[in-house]
Amino acid sequence: MVMHPGWLQVLDTALITIGTCGITFAIFGRFAEGAGANLVLRVALALGALVVMLYPTDAVATAAGALVLPAVIFGIVRHRRIAPPKGALQPQPVL
């Protein structure tokens, strides 16, 4: 990231953040209720995120980041519908 000081460093930092969020969601998130579809989508997201973080050409990494970012946002919205926190489904007692 330090190889391109200035505004290009901001782009590199954003790409690393997108890649890290993609890997994190691929490990901990859920796209689908079915195990097979969920596994395929999470592996595809992880591969895309690895391209964002590790590919040496900036143009390819930026293009992959443009695909991974909406996938992570969609995955977060979908995960909140499929696997809400356990406390959200049960009524809380009033003290």
In a domain, 15, yes or no: yes
Which of 45, 90, 37, 85 minimizes the C-alpha distance to 64? 45
In a domain, 91, yes or no: no
pLDDT digits (tens, 9 = 90+) for 8-57: 889 899 999 999 999 999 999 999 999 999 999 999 999 999 999 999 98
In a domain, 92, yes or no: no
Domain count of the fold of the chain: 1
d(Cα 59, Cα 24) in Å, to the nearest integer?
A: 23
In a domain, 34, yes or no: yes
In a domain, 89, yes or no: no
Residue 6 — very low, low, confident or very high, per pLDDT cuts 50/70/90?
Answer: confident
In a domain, 30, yes or no: yes
Domain with 34 in it: 7-82
In a domain, 88, yes or no: no
In a domain, 42, yes or no: yes
Q: What pTM value is reported for the model? A: 0.82
Please, what is the Cα angle at 43 between 41 and 8, to 5 degrees? Answer: 100
